[in-house]
Amino acid sequence: MHKCQNTRPDPIIAFDVYGTLIDTTGMVELLRKHAGNLAEPLSTLWRQKQLEYSFRRGLMRAYRDFRVCTSSALDYACLTFSVSLSEDERNMLLEAYRKLPAFGDVSAGLKQAQEAGLRLFAFSNGTASDVGQLLDNAGISGFFLDIISVDELHSFKPDPSVYHHFLSRANAKGKDAWMVSANPFDVIGAAAAGMQSLWVQRSRELIMDPWESGPNLTISSLAEVAHVIAGWRNNQQQNP
């Protein structure tokens, strides 16, 4: 991957990874062997606690990387549903979490965004090595100029400092940088830190938190990214 550079006037796009590019529900089938019909709710709780633990650690200034949050959350979910795992089974699931699949719309959407001249970065709570493994496994790493991880700052989204860190690393101003995420907390966090924001609403049942800051735009598929950002820019130029 190339180092962060900003030599063209095209917008910079920060793509969230877990839940936006990479489908965290891809663990459900693996969990069926251990949890049976409880696999889906266990997977959901695992993801919820993973994020909660990152929020807690960010607030407590008790940083451990995202792998620790993921591991602790798996233990909590298994305790909740009385699912027993051997050490080998637990390690296998945690390793599989680093090889989750991309959503079906990701590759084509990234290609369109790249061809439209947008500068694409992966921006994640995960460590750069784990995110790199995920992107490589999904066959999409070549679309990104760089991976920017909150691990470099030892905090987590939605701490405003991590969004400012992204802007610094990508050599961008907030008005020229977009956060593209399916996670409402990430969209709100980026908007509050001065970035433009684009919410990927992957299901009609999902709702955006009714806060004072929110997305500039909402889409249902990454295939819309290049088109809607181009339209938004044209509208801003015509109505400054």
Identify the CA nearest to 165 among candidates 135, 130, 189, 136: 189
CA angle at 20 for the pair 196 and 25, rounded to the nearest 5°:
155
Q: d(Cα 58, Cα 200) in Å, to the nearest integer?
A: 24
Would you call 16 helix, strand, or coil by DSSP?
coil
Catalytic site residue from 16, 23, 65, 186: 16
Beta 196-200 vs 119-124: how paired, if at all?
Answer: unpaired
Q: Is 105 a catalytic residue?
A: no
Q: d(Cα 108, Cα 187) in Å, to the nearest integer?
A: 22
Q: d(Cα 93, Cα 99) in Å, to the nearest integer?
A: 10
Q: Which helix (H) or strand (E) holds 129?
A: helix 128-138
HSE-CB at 154 with a 13 A cutoff on CA atoms is 5
The structure tokens listed for 138 are 């999904």
| Burial bucket for residue 140 (CB in 10 Å: 0-12, 13-18, 19+) | buried
> Measuring CA to CA, how many Å separate 196 from each of 9, 26, 87, 119, 232?
16, 29, 43, 14, 11
Active-site residue set: 16
